[in-house]
Structure 1
């Protein structure tokens, strides 16, 4: 059984007739697996995971046929029941470390609060465990950082504190939403090495939301490519990188700067991701797709399984005629 199993997830803002920003998403994560979710800004990557965490407030509407985490239906949980899972077995690292920490409290207090809520630790026991966590995420002079406030830390240090809080209760699934966006290149590599090391050490599932395809190639076992709220391709690494089956995945890979060496201009995909009020009738990629055909403008393709994963395309690439 999968650790995480999402079936037909939709997220709308407004009412049930509003155009979904996440549209009929199916997704699964196994224990100990690293799944990367990639796509342009506005593709619904972060909203998907926020829906799982119960962080979509009104006027947001979340619906799904199944939103199962470790055998528990997350849609049926009420506040107190959800808090027993979220932050403990299911945890999330947010994009901006400088805003995910409370500026009014010390680093030590915030870590100890997590330990008290989910592990029942208090006093010296919580303090000692907080110190161990700071050591675990490789913060130098950890003891002196316990009494520091977030504004006294660098971006890299703040992200390490956020990671320490996220792993404090040893979660079964960790969601990392663009965990290196606000950091410089050298710190990015350190944070990713730290995350992957923790994932392997604890054998936890890891959902990595990122724009960095190089990081995906190095760390993930599977990839979900999202476009305009839909999963357009799901596949394994390295097969998806070697032979993408969806035109959008191919365009993302071609846009990697290294692939444009020797050319006057970087390779790009013309146009923009459609919004809520300008979605095409057929395939959502059809206005931008270099392989578009008449059928693509009229019908919206389903996510169909194939020999190496699944693709939402009537004319998938790099497949034999029998499979396509």
Structure 2
């Protein structure tokens, strides 16, 4: 369904996304994990065409259902993005327009992509809010985003995303800033909708436990690159890349009885301190001389000269 090769997003001289390869099959759940600044959200926004100047997006190809998303005209892109591929953003209160009711915003999507107006759009909007388990849906259509809780707003965002029956849904850390109980409800909702509608789902998250419980495959990103990808649970049982190993070693359940969680020293390289060789080399506990000189390619799902 989705095949991305050598996706790059640059802001001036800074490569925020540096040669990402990803593929997603129909009905598959792919987890994308990595620390803040690893390029998870920017890569998906590049795919959606949401990177504005001064950002520049390139790829060898970026195919979705036979369309090359990077070569579509603006008019053709609007037929695909929002209808066949949709995105749930990280902060619903920021993503929703505070000046309009949630009903107006849902109906706007229905009118733009499906041509529904008036009563038909209103009835479909009510059905969507009921589908995402918002109580008293007809009355909630008249609410403004600030009148709803964080969990409710996130459900509204999901309703807008699934309004046109997308074949691919991208969820960008959809549980950020929600309490634990609401987080579980949102995740359960997304999985239920994914199964019922048979759509593919890309889940961007920091939560490795979440990915382990819901995804079929996982892609681990670091400094704008995919450093390891593979099926769940094989990747969690036997990680090959030192960065993946460090992420898993930092989980609380792997540090029972310890005074501090295990951590990887250093920070993700920025615009002016990117090493010539492997991007993890300044932080890697298994670094060798070749790692400082050459940059590894992604081979058999691992971007490392000395996988273990």
Please confirm whether the aligned pair reaches a TM-score higher than 0.5, indicating the same fold. yes
CA–CA distance in structure 2, aligned partners of residues 86 and 302 of structure 1: 31
Deviations 1:140-160 (A, max 9, x none): 111110101100000000000
1:11 to 2, 9, 20: 9
| 1:229-244 equivalence runs, <5 A | 229-244=224-239
Aligned to 1:315: 306
State which of 27, 31, 41 in structure 2 corresponds to 1:32: 27
1:182 positional shift: 1.5
Query: Structure 1: how far apart are the matches of 2:234 and 2:259?
Result: 29
CA distance in 2, matches of 1:74, 1:300: 28
Please report how far the alpha carbon of residue 19 of structure 1 lies from its aligned counterpart in structure 2 after TM superposition. Answer: 3.5
Partner of 1:68: 63
Of the candidates 137, 144, 153, which is equivalent to residue 149 of structure 1?
A: 144
Query: Aligned partners of 1:252, 1:162: CA distance in 2, in Å?
Result: 30
Runs of 4+ in 1 over 6 A off after TM superposition: none
Map of 1:109 onto structure 2: 104
Tell me which of 19, 22, 26 is aligned to 2:17: 22
For the pair 1:130 / 2:125, whether they are aligned, the reply is yes
CA distance in 2, matches of 1:297, 1:155: 45
Counterpart of 1:247 (choices 236, 242, 248) is 242
Q: Which one of 56, 60, 63 corresponds to residue 51 of structure 2?
A: 56
TM-score (norm 1): 0.94
Q: Tell me the SS of whatever aligns to 1:75.
A: coil
- Partners of 1:73 and 1:283 in 2: how far apart? 30
How far 1:216 moved relative to its partner?
Answer: 0.1
Q: Which stretches in structure 2 are left out of the alignment for 5+ residues? A: none
What's the C-alpha RMSD, in Å, of the aligned pairs? 0.7
Q: TM-score, normalised by structure 2?
A: 0.99
Residues 244-290 of structure 1: per-residue CA shift (max 9 Å, x gap)? 01000000001111111101111111110000110111111011111
Q: Give distance in 2, aligned partners of 1:212 and 1:19.
A: 27
C-alpha distance in structure 2 between counterparts of 1:19 and 1:148, whole Å? 41
Residue 41 of structure 1 is matched in structure 2 by 36
Shift in Å, 1:99: 0.7
**Alignment match, 2:75:** 80
Q: 1:205 aligns with which of 197, 200, 204?
A: 200
1:215 aligned partner: 210
| Partner secondary structure for residue 87 of structure 2 | strand
